[in-house]
């Protein structure tokens, strides 16, 4: 059952008159309430600044589909909040049609998913669902918490010279936001008073040597250089702990989620609502069902002595106005626009797809692309919408002869022998589930005997993707092409195959009654007896069937002499004043295996940078 809370939560704002019409003015306007924008807006309000937070969706914070972690797949499928981006993985149309779950519009209000569509069906592409809801994608994800490799933070230091990004300094932001509920208080690596709850599962099952899952666990320990005798202890390791040489350690861990020990999701939604609840103390205004169509500038031609300055945003109000929304009514007239002003700054936090789109329709982006659609150029920034990156993801999936007796998950971060560096390069979790990517109605349920090891490739070498306009209309969705494996693809695929081989070998230890396994992919047939399970065949499978949901880097921080850099180290958009981008698009590279926690840390750092600049003004 679905519930919808569409209440307008708002505090008072200053009102001025512009061109004969009443308009609102705030100190800061934050566009997007996800892991980047939501906490930032709350922090600015708590610092005493009159802050407006704009969210295109509604509030599902009281909906059990969203707050109960057991129903996160249902949340990601829910039309109440879902935005469908239909993306490409390459420039090759024939290759795109080979993705097993490519999706078509049948014309009768339904989707066809697969490789044999009805004759008149329109090809849409590969579904990449995003969440238009208070709290953003942190409201429909699996809530997996993982920290980036230290080098992901230190890269920003190397690019910009800003030592505030050093990895050991960035950890303070994680500690600041965390409200740890799985470790005893006093662990210096963690925080216990923040707004984000973290919880971990029970791993006591690993002490039972008779379980099928424990047999797989111990064999996997051997294959990854761990002590099988200590496997039961290792699965309880703190995945967010602060260890020497952490990024080089292949180890089992206890998976941590941004949820409470009661199984309820913890997200920016909770923090925003808690801040709004004390309106007398914290001047935060929230506008729901409000879509930003462009940023407003003074000196918008950029021809004056001073750089253009962001002074506000233009918005339309209403539900399902954006054409990524499956509830959008084709041909519907857009609501009238209105303008809202910021006396200090505008901060864009729409995510890796929408942040570059907002900049571009506002006149900030590659000159040729803007001029193609008749958009006046405010600032020529070639990097906006480029360098789109993502973790490659894939899985090996099989059916046991009987259910695999594994009451939890085997969570492992490890290095394959062919990794490009000494750092571990694969994050995997194995259990009695299936996960093969995204399509309308995902995932498949293969029954009680299903068993999967899902994999996330850490540190992908190619960042060749792009987010480009299809028109000047801000309500149109952009063209998104990840260009998977375009650069150094053979090396990334080889690492993926190496990981699959290691995981598959561990399954052989399961024993009766679970064995023999019947593998469904990437090597269909009885486990260990398929003649076509070559490295080349597996590489081809992963090339065609890899998926992703950790998009980043389309408005990346970079060096002063890099023409593709969009932001400086303080999140400021280059060449204009009063405008920042604070979300996953800001990262120069994908931050580790899961970006949600790093993006919340990013938001906390941006808070410090913005408040420091405010004190100087």
Consult the annotation and say whether 143 binds a ligand. Answer: yes
Residue 61 near residue 135, CB atoms below 8 Å: yes
What whole-number distance in Å separates Cα of residue 204 and Cα of residue 225?
A: 22
Q: How far is CA 307 from CA 101, 297, 298, 562, in A?
A: 47, 10, 9, 19
Helix (H, G, I), strand (E, B) or coil at 221: helix
497 is known to lie in a ligand binding site = no
Tell me if the bond preceding 42 is cis, omega within 30° of 0: no
Q: Interior CA angle at 286 toward 283 and 291, to 5°?
A: 140
On whether 87 is known to bind a ligand per the annotation, the reply is no
8-state DSSP, 279:
T
Alpha carbons 250 and 611: distance in angstroms, whole number: 39
Q: In Å, how far are 33, 232, 233, 312 from 41, measured between CA atoms?
A: 8, 42, 41, 15
Question: Strand (E) positions, 136-205?
Answer: 178-180, 196-200
What CA–CA distances, in Å, run from 205 to 209, 214, 217, 335, 503?
A: 9, 8, 11, 56, 20
User: Three-state DSSP class for 608?
Assistant: helix
For 466-500, give one letter per residue: b (16+ CB within 10 A) or e: bbbbeeeebbebbbbbbbbbbeebebbbbbbbbbb
Between CA 413 and CA 125 the distance in angstroms is 31
d(CA 80, CA 77): 9
* Spatial CB neighbours of 462, under 8 Å, sequence gap ≥ 6: 389, 483, 484, 485, 486, 487, 488, 489, 492
The answer, yes or no, to whether the previous bond of 498 is cis (omega within 30 of 0) is no
467 is in an annotated binding site: no
Q: What angle do CA 93, 98, 103 make, to 5 degrees?
A: 85
Question: Which ranges in 362-485 belong to alpha helices (H)?
Answer: 367-372
**Binding positions for FAD:** 133, 141-144, 292
Binding residues: 133, 141-144, 292
């Amino acid at each position: 059952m679905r519930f919808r809370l569409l209440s307008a939560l708002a505090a008072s704002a200053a009102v001025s008159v512009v061109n004969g019409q009443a308009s609102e003015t705030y100190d800061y306007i934050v566009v997007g309430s996800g892991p980047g924008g939501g906490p930032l807006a709350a922090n600015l309000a708590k610092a005493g600044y009159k802050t407006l937070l704009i969210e295109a969706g509604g509030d599902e914070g009281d909906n059990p589909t969203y707050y109960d972690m057991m129903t996160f797949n249902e949340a990601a499928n829910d039309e109440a909040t879902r935005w469908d981006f239909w993306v490409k993985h390459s420039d090759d149309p024939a290759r795109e049609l080979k993705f097993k779950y490519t999706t078509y519009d049948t014309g009768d209000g339904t989707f066809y998913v697969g490789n044999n569509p009805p004759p008149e069906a329109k090809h849409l592409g590969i579904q990449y669902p995003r969440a238009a809801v208070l709290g953003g994608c942190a409201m429909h994800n699996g809530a997996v918490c993982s920290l980036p490799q230290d080098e992901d933070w230190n890269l920003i230091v190397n690019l910009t010279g800003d030592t505030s990004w050093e990895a050991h300094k960035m950890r303070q932001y994680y500690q600041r936001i965390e409200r740890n509920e799985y470790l005893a208080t006093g662990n210096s690596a963690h925080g216990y008073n923040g707004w984000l709850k973290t919880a971990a599962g029970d791993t006591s099952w690993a002490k039972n040597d008779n379980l099928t899952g424990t047999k797989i666990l111990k064999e996997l320990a051997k294959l990854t250089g761990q002590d099988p005798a200590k496997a039961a202890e290792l699965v309880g390791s703190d995945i967010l702990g602060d260890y020497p040489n952490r990024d080089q350690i292949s180890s089992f861990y206890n998976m941590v989620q941004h949820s409470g020990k009661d199984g309820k999701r913890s997200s920016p939604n909770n923090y925003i609502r808690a801040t709004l609840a004390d309106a007398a103390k914290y001047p935060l205004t929230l506008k729901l069902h409000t879509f930003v169509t462009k940023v407003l500038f003074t000196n918008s031609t950029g021809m004056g002595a001073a750089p253009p300055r962001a002074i506000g945003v233009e918005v339309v109000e209403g539900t399902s106005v954006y054409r990524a929304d499956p509830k959008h009514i084709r041909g519907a007239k857009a609501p009238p626009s209105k303008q809202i002003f910021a006396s200090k700054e505008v901060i864009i936090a729409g995510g890796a797809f929408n942040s570059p789109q907002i900049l571009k329709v506002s006149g900030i982006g590659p000159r040729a692309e803007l001029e193609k659609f008749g958009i006046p150029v405010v600032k020529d920034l070639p990097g906006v919408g480029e360098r789109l990156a993502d973790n490659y993801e894939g899985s090996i999936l099989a059916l046991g002869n009987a259910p695999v007796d594994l009451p939890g998950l085997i969570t492992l971060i490890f290095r394959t022998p062919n990794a490009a560096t000494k750092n571990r390069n694969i994050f995997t979790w194995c259990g009695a589930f299936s996960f093969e990517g995204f399509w309308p109605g995902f995932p498949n349920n293969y029954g009680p005997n299903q068993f999967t090891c899902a994999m996330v490739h850490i540190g992908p070498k190619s960042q060749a993707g792009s987010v480009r306009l299809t028109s000047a209309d801000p309500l149109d969705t952009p063209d998104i092409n990840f260009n998977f494996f375009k650069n150094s693809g053979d090396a990334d695929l080889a690492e993926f195959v190496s990981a699959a081989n290691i995981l598959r070998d561990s399954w052989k230890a399961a024993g009766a009654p679970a064995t023999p396994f019947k593998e469904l992919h990437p090597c269909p047939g009885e486990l260990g007896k398929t003649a076509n399970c070559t490295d080349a065949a597996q590489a081809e499978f992963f090339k065609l069937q890899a998926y992703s949901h950790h998009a980043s880097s389309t408005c990346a921080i970079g060096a002063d002499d890099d023409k593709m850099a969009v932001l400086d180290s303080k999140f400021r958009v280059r060449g204009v004043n009063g405008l920042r981008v604070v979300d996953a698009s800001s990262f120069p590279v994908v931050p580790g295996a899961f970006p949600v926690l790093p993006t919340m840390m990013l938001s906390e750092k941006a808070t410090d940078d913005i408040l420091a600049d405010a004190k100087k003004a």
